[in-house]
Amino acid sequence: MKPLWTKLGTVLGIAAGGLDMWLNTLRISPFTLRHGKPDHAALLPSAQAKPINYPRPDGSVTYDRLSSVFLSGTLHEEDQPPHLQVRDLSLQKSSEHDVFGGPSGLYCPAAVYEWVGEGAGLRYQINAANCVHCKTCDIKDPNQNINWVPPEGGGGPNYRGM
């Protein structure tokens, strides 16, 4: 549906997407459209992008990320093997941070990734215990430098408690 939306615009794209979903349920959809490039290749360097100033959460309709992580009941053993693996930390600094402006700090819904400090003291902090297993980082990292692997059994959001 999303490629149709992208190609045809909101009104026509959603109408065509609805038709496509209906045809899919009847198993007679005649075609499959794909995006022109993978998601991670769609990121622009931060110098070419317009900053978005998101309003602060109001605590009534919108909430900060860590409050929502708390509600998900996410829990991991602190000493389990890392399930978020950054293959090359220097590439993360030179490209993800320096060129793309650290998008992991924005796209991760659980505030797992943070660039902390400045200058020579700058470091990539991974708060893996907060991870809600959406796998966005594995898909969206501009260099495909983050590998999400299944965590130790039992860790993650408490789906039954939601």
Residues 102, 122: contact at Cβ < 8 Å? no
Residue with smaller CB distance to ligand SF4, 43 or 110: 110
Residue type, position 104, single letter: S
Residue with smaller CB distance to ligand SF4, 43 or 108: 108
By three-state DSSP, how is residue 143 classified?
coil
Please report whether residue 112 would count as binding ligand SF4 according to CB under 6 A.
yes
In 10 A of CB 152, how many CB atoms?
Answer: 12
Least Cα distance to 80 among 6, 149, 24, 136 occurs for 149
Near ligand SF4 in 80-109, by CB under 6 A: 84, 108-109
Taking residues 35 to 74 in sequence order and writing x for each that binds ligand SF4 by CB under 6 A, - otherwise, the string is ----------------------------------------
Chain residues that interact with ligand SF4, rule: CB under 6 A: 84, 108-110, 112, 131-137, 148
